[in-house]
Structure 1
Amino acid sequence: MKKFNWLLMVCLSVGFALKAQDNSMKKLREETAGKIKNAEKDTTGRLWKRGGNFGLMFNQGSLTNWAAGGDKLSLSLLATFNGFANYKKGRHNWDNNVDLAYGYVNTTSLGTRKSDDRIDMTSKYGYEIGKNWYLSGLFNLRTQFSEGYLYPSDTTREFVSKFFAPAYIILSPGIDFKPNDEFSLFMSPFTGRWVVVMDDTLSAKGSYGVDTGKHVKSEFGAYISATWNKEIMKNVTYKTKLELFSNYKHNPGNIDIFWTNIVAMKVNKWLSANVSLDMIYDDDVRVFENKETGVMGPRLQIKEVIGIGLTAKF
């Protein structure tokens, strides 16, 4: 009996020891896995910087027995999104940005019209060759979501654009000067640009400089892109992007200009006010009439939008 008790005690002791060892090994494995997981998160956080802003602006107005006159009802809605994903490791630098906007306005006298429509995507890779200087390659695509119209009068409209009509595609090797995360100046003397008009009706008219009946026009020239994103005062951010392109093949002295400006004022966590100003000069867009001479030709295009509404930052 004593031998049995002694044997039972030995077995229990061995069992408890094995269980304790197993728990210790399990705890060690969990701690090791946790350290590896945290290390992966830390590495990802150092290599990638991601974020964005989503805005929804809504305006409404109504008049009843208003002596000064005006539309009885006006409604406008504008949605914007700006997202980025930037990678940096050693001498390698890869910046990606997408800028989207879509808006409509409706009034009792004019009906529904589009107030904003933009798709702008940029991807730029750089390899550091000196302090703040990068040997880079840039890709840019700019187009719109839906059909666009000109309104010669209140009762008529003229179809002038749609998705990928036009679309501007830029592929450019060059040098990028980037002293900090706020400013970038990209310069290239050898840039390919393609103007795409996929709609048959617009291509038949030779819209946006494409040859009549063609869908794509290729251009080769010099390209400069400057971007600046700066908090100019507390809760007020200014973002600007200026693009200049000179076509070596045709009128290189007539430089195409695309300039976007956005001032974002943050009221609180969810409310903000935005003011945007876009200016475009494209020598190939000759659809504007000089009222004094009656001659059709290019003009400086200006678009200004002011909105107050909801915003979400992530």
Structure 2
Amino acid sequence: MAQEIDTIPINTTDLQIKLKRSPLPSRIGSLIYKPVELAPKVVDAEINYWNTKTSIGLNLNQAAFSDNWNGGGVNSMALTGLINYKTEYRKENLSYTSEVILNYGKVKNRGQLQKKTVDRIYIDNKAAIQLSKNWYFFGSINFESQFDLGYSYEINDDGAEVPNLLSRFMSPGYLTESIGFEYKPNQYFSTRIGTGTARQTFVLDTSIYNNPKNTNNFGVPIGSKMVNELAFQVVMNYDKDIFKNVNLKSKYMAFVPYDNFGYINHRLDVALTAKVNRFMNTSITGVGLYDRNSDSKIQGSQTLSLGLIFIFPR
């Protein structure tokens, strides 16, 4: 039944069906194709393998009270500056990254001495060769110290603050050279495994030996100005916009001396930055540090600020 014809044939002999002539022009004969010579166009362009970004930030906090202000308070002013420069070079399986972080801030409360809120010099350079999709062989060198004198403060019998010198530029200062392997599955996360790492710790100002708080002298023997350590190092970086106009940046570093695997130094830096508009942002930063050469307990710092930021190029 499925193969039966379901159409009825119609005889068209007497229907006088006429076909209209096609309106398209017709041509009889052969078509001849000739090649057309096109002059090449030279594009004057260069490939830029460099990617550079510079951030300059300035934060100002100020508070003032009249002498009869019953709510209590103290006049204060705090100023913090930040310069973050980063450049990257990528060509085929070669890459080079350089980063400079300069951060300094001070606070002045009425009736008190000026005090630092943040003080850091950090310079990092890394060259790498790609071995596979996510693995690289790298060599790096970085330097870390501070700009200004660092003090601890005590109150004497007269109620006045007495500063005690703790640190200054290159006291301590750290120079670290490392080679090893890097795992980088994407653009915002990476892990360096420095199987061969050497770190030199400098204490060039011997006057800080006299401070009782510097019991370990940052690991440098008394009478020396430098000590060298061989170690295994891990550095993890995370830098990503987790929401629109909100960036999370963190760096974790672990330093394990080969002569004492139980003596591990840790440092964690976390910064959460929210962009308010083109020139303003608010940020909260935190640092956790465990270094027995400095202190037997975990050290920590935290800042919250609102200020101006300029990013080049835009």
Which TM class, normalised by the smaller chain length?
A: 0.7 to 0.9
> Is 1:237–1:264's contact at 8 Å kept on the other side of the alignment?
yes
Percentage identity across paired residues of the two chains: 29
Mapped partners of 1:234, 1:115: distance in 2: 29
State the match for 1:61 in structure 2.
63
Partner of 2:11: none
Q: How far apart are the structure 1 equivalents of 2:227 and 2:239?
A: 32
Q: Does residue 254 of structure 1 match 2:263?
A: yes
CA displacement 1:177-208 (0-9 Å, x = unmatched): 11122111000222101111111213577621
Give how far 1:212 is off.
0.5
Partner residue of 1:182 out of 173, 181, 188: 188
Give the counterpart of 1:95 among 86, 94, 97.
97
Q: Aligned-pair distance for 1:299?
A: 1.4
Cα distance between partner residues in 2 of 1:242 and 1:167: 19
Question: What residue in structure 2 maps to residue 116 of structure 1?
Answer: 118
Matched, 1:263 2:272: yes
**How far is 1:91 from its partner?**
0.4
Q: In structure 2, what is the equivalent of residue 48 of structure 1?
A: 50
- Between the aligned partners of 2:302 and 2:268, the Cα distance in structure 1 is 12
Within 2, Cα distance between the matches of 1:93 and 1:117? 30
Out of 213, 225, 236, the position equivalent to 1:215 is: 225
Note the aligned Cα RMSD (angstroms).
1.6
Q: 1:265, 1:273 within 8 Å by CA — same for their partners in 2?
A: yes
Question: Contact 1:135–1:175 at 8 Å: present in 2 too?
Answer: yes
Residues 188-207 of structure 1: pairs in structure 2 closer than 5 A: 188-202=194-208, 207=217
Q: Distance in 1 between matches of 2:208 and 2:265?
A: 21
SS of aligned partner of 1:245: strand
Task: Extract unaligned runs of 5+ from structure 2.
Answer: 1-40
Which stretch of the first structure deviates more once superposed, 173-182 or 206-215?
Answer: 206-215
Match of 2:281 in 1: 272
CA contact (8 A) 1:204 1:212 kept: no
Matches within 5 A, 1:66-77: 66-71=69-74, 73-77=75-79
Shift of 1:239: 0.4
**Structure 1 CA distance, aligned partners of 2:77 and 2:179?**
45
Q: Which runs of 4+ in 1 moved over 2 A?
A: 202-206
| Counterpart residue type for residue 263 of structure 1 | L
Instruction: Please name the residue that 1:308 is paired with.
Output: 306
Q: Distance in 2 between matches of 1:215 and 1:202?
A: 11
In structure 2, the CA distance between the partners of 1:278 and 1:259, relative to structure 1 (3 Å rule), is same
State the 1:92 CA deviation.
Answer: 0.3
Q: Which amino acid aligns with 2:286?
A: L
Aligned to 1:9: none
Task: State the distance in 2 between where 1:115 and 1:137 align.
Answer: 33
* Separation (CA, whole Å) in 1 of partners of 2:167 and 2:192: 29
CA shift in 2, pair 1:86/1:248, >3 Å:
same
TM normalised by structure 2 equals: 0.80
Structure with higher helix content: 1
Q: TM-score normalized by structure 1?
A: 0.80
Cα distance in 1 for partners of 2:131, 2:141 equals 20
Q: Is the 8 A contact 1:204 1:214 kept in 2?
A: no
Residue pair 1:203, 1:211 contacting (<8 A) in 2 also:
no
The one-letter code sitting in structure 1 at the alignment partner of 2:104 is: Y
Work out the CA distance in 2 between the residues paired with 1:81 and 1:172: 25
Q: Hey, what's the Cα distance between the residues in 1 that align with 2:298 and 2:278?
A: 37
3-state SS of paired residue (1:157): strand
Amino acid at match of 1:102: Y
Q: What amino acid sits opposite 2:306 in the alignment?
A: I
Paired residue for 2:15?
none
Structure 1 distance, partners of 2:69, 2:246, is: 36
Matched, 1:165 2:175: no
Give the letter aligned to residue 239 of structure 1: K
2: CA distance, partners of 1:279 / 1:76 = 22
Note the residue ranges of structure 1 that are not aligned, 5 or more in a row: 1-30, 287-297
* Separation (CA, whole Å) in 2 of partners of 1:111 and 1:163: 20
State whether residues 113 and 161 of structure 2, in contact with CA within 8 Å, keep that contact through their aligned partners in structure 1: no
1:115 match: secondary structure = strand
List per-residue Cα deviations over 1:212-271 (Å, max 9, x = no partner). Answer: 01111111111000000010101010100000001122x321210111111111000011
CA drift at 1:132:
1.0
Whichever of the two has the greater Rg, that structure is 2
